[in-house]
Amino acid sequence: MRFLILALAACPAPMMAEGARMTLSCEVQTVCTQDGACKAAQDGREITVTPNNIDASGLGTYGVVIDGKGNETKGLSRTGPFLWQIGSYQIQTLTLTGETTALMIRQDTTPNGVVAPNAAVDFLTCEVTF
């Protein structure tokens, strides 16, 4: 993560401006459920994060596209964490955890009685480009 932050700090000002994007080519290594059950996975994910309306620290709104499906997301910095909602009950979070690692948390908050609320955590290894 320190490398990622230093890499961003070294970028020229136009790259830090709105419109610059971060692309992650990831492999899901492990998937864990909310009860701690984990299993190995081998699934690819292409993720693009594009700033829309951010302040100097990177706080604001971003567009996130995962495997061709886009959503508006809120980000706390240029490197996340990023949080977005799909529909009424699907919440997802993307957090970069190192130079080549990330976590994606997928939560279903559908009211109990319809579908039991559940979550999964995907452990990713990624190649990050700006």
pLDDT of residue 20: 84
Confidence of residue 130 (pLDDT cuts 50, 70, 90): confident
pLDDT tens digits, one per residue of 10-46: 444 334 454 589 999 999 999 999 999 999 998 999 9
- Domains of the chain, by residue range, sit at 2-12+30-129
pLDDT of residue 19: 53
pLDDT > 60? residue 63: yes
Which ranges of 1-130 does DSSP label H, i.e. alpha helix? 2-10, 13-16
Give residue 124's identity as a one-letter amino acid code: L
Single pTM value for the model:
0.80
pLDDT tens digits, one per residue of 87-101: 888 999 999 999 999
How many Cβ atoms sit within 10 Å of the Cβ of residue 46?
13
The mean per-residue pLDDT over the stretch 55-82 comes to 95
Q: Name the token pair of 49.
A: 């994060």
Confidence of residue 110 (pLDDT cuts 50, 70, 90): confident
Q: Name the token pair of 3.
A: 């490398």
pLDDT of residue 116: 75
CB 83, CB 71: distance < 8 Å: no
d(CA 62, CA 70): 10
